[in-house]
Structure 1
């Protein structure tokens, strides 16, 4: 599924998949694409159904019938679908993979280790092995995207930048790709500075110019990123507008609590934290292990220790 150069025929559907426009991805007819491109299109469609919390079993069976020589890929996609559709706690398929042999296998295996086992180091190892293996080709960029993301999540900024720099070893045709541009926007935002953050914000503004009305999940994600970036730029009225748009979506998929964490930060920045306690309670219920809660607890404990230290003896 990875041999075709995605920069041509698959340019639009690839952009839509990696920017969360999953309803648009699932709406395509295979006949709109060449025989060479159809297996990759079907992969995007299956993964989009899974991202939308829809069972893709029927589409996977259709794929097995249409592309009999792609059995390994559909075994992978079936395992991924089952994990999401039936709430499986673990997977013998993913647990058995010692070294990924194709791009999607590397990516979904890494995501499995994160989702099921919180195994960030295992995920990083799988992806790192793959990008240094004989299997990868220059147009397989998703492993780089995930590696940068995982390193940023774990605060390994230098390592994230090192992985990103590997893009510059690839031909321009590979770098002229939505995956490259998304990854670049993350790196710029982390580096900070007005120009870097502003360029990242402009990139997401361009993505937001697409019609997301049928893709609430994707719209929620892009608006959340724009909210965080405008807060970073201290454009508080604009950030408030994004926040109101997010709330209007009434989207229930913030399972990590990151939006609530951003709201809490915004409350502190704009109102001195006067309405922060209800938000902290919501975040504690949603994700009691969120990093912001840990930081908040640590600061309170330090403050209590200082008060106790200097409290006059009775």
Structure 2
């Protein structure tokens, strides 16, 4: 394959992954890629498998290769985290961050694991070593938003726009900030996802979830429910769709038990499950203080 053609195909794989077109990522034929392009393509395909809930397949795929490749070791860490083995995943991510801090895959996947384990500052320190990585920028924005630091997230987006104005990831990151800032930014974010969806005949989860979240903020709950439900029928194991469907059911006063069970089976370490369990424990503790006392 012509190297320029292979590089173009790699960009297509990159864009398809970040649009949530995970099956399309897996369907790319990378057999003729050079070693330089084959590894990043393989990384995206392994990540797509994780996104589709095929954690065991990914762990089996990288077994035996992790000692020779920090990139595949980082995939292993992410797969262990997604599979619920948080302690081992976090330790591996920390080791990789210490030994391969300049590796772009280690930066993004390692930081994802560290952030999931509640180690935000370590994650940001690792991501701060990136050299023009849009994935790193997008993850930094996500972390700042989780920290309720919309100001820092916006600053990161504005800095990235100076050197990657038309990038898909920068546009998405700007829409994430818009959904947090609110006001007229809700509609702007909706337009980003609407345009993404119009160019995507597969109704990929990312564009559907983005549109649905914007719809919720714009007070269009039925439209959000319809979009999520339709996409969930097509992608029953997509964790983003499942998690947002749980949120929608809560807002609509509908039961969530089956969805929570599905999320537990697909990604046991998902942050929403941890939040639900924490809130449940708080409720039980508070309720115990006011339990009825029956006198004999």
Q: Same fold (TM over 0.5)?
A: yes
Structure-2 change in CA distance of 1:289 and 1:62 (3 Å)? closer
Cα deviation 1:101-139 (Å, max 9, x = unaligned): 122111111111133x222333223223x14xxxx1x3x
Q: Determine the C-alpha separation between the residues in 2 that align with 1:240 and 1:190.
A: 20
Structure-2 change in CA distance of 1:153 and 1:33 (3 Å)? same
Worse-superposed segment, 235-244 or 181-190: 235-244
Taking structure 1 as the reference length, what is the TM-score of the superposition?
0.68
Equivalent position SS for 1:101 = coil
Pick one of 77, 88, 92 that aligns with 2:75. Answer: 77
1:257·1:290 contact (CA, 8 Å) conserved in 2?
no
Pick one of 191, 195, 198 that aligns with 1:202. Answer: 191
Q: Determine the C-alpha separation between the residues in 1 that align with 2:136 and 2:31.
A: 29
Q: Determine the C-alpha separation between the residues in 1 that align with 2:235 and 2:40.
A: 33
Pick one of 268, 273, 279 that aligns with 1:287. Answer: 273
Pick one of 218, 224, 238 that aligns with 1:239. Answer: 224
Q: Determine the C-alpha separation between the residues in 2 that align with 1:187 and 1:197.
A: 10
2:70·2:106 contact (CA, 8 Å) conserved in 1?
no
Pick one of 178, 188, 202 that aligns with 2:168. Answer: 178
What residue in structure 1 maps to residue 294 of structure 2? none
> Unmatched 5+ residue regions in structure 1?
268-274, 305-314
Structure-2 change in CA distance of 1:74 and 1:280 (3 Å)? closer
Cα deviation 1:69-120 (Å, max 9, x = unaligned): x7332333344445546846324432223372122111111111133x2223
Pick one of 55, 58, 63 that aligns with 1:56. Answer: 58
Equivalences for residues 258-269 of structure 1 within 5 A = 258-265=244-251, 267=252
Structure-2 change in CA distance of 1:62 and 1:87 (3 Å)? closer
> Unmatched 5+ residue regions in structure 2?
265-271, 291-296
Alignment coverage as a number of residue pairs: 265
Query: 1:189: how far off?
Result: 2.4
Pick one of 156, 165, 179 that aligns with 1:189. Answer: 179
Structure-2 change in CA distance of 1:241 and 1:51 (3 Å)? closer
Equivalences for residues 1-314 of structure 1 within 5 A = 8-31=8-31, 33=33, 36-54=36-54, 55-56=57-58, 59-60=61-62, 71-84=69-82, 87=85, 89-91=87-89, 92-96=91-95, 97-98=97-98, 100-115=101-116, 117-128=117-128, 130-131=129-130, 136=131, 138=132, 140-170=133-163, 174-194=164-184, 196-209=185-198, 210-212=200-202, 218-219=204-205, 221-246=206-231, 248-249=233-234, 251=236, 254=239, 257-265=243-251, 267=252, 275=253, 278=255, 287=273, 289-290=275-276
User: In angstroms, what is the RMSD of aligned CA positions?
Assistant: 4.0
2:246·2:260 contact (CA, 8 Å) conserved in 1?
yes
Q: Determine the C-alpha separation between the residues in 2 that align with 1:34 and 1:27.
A: 18
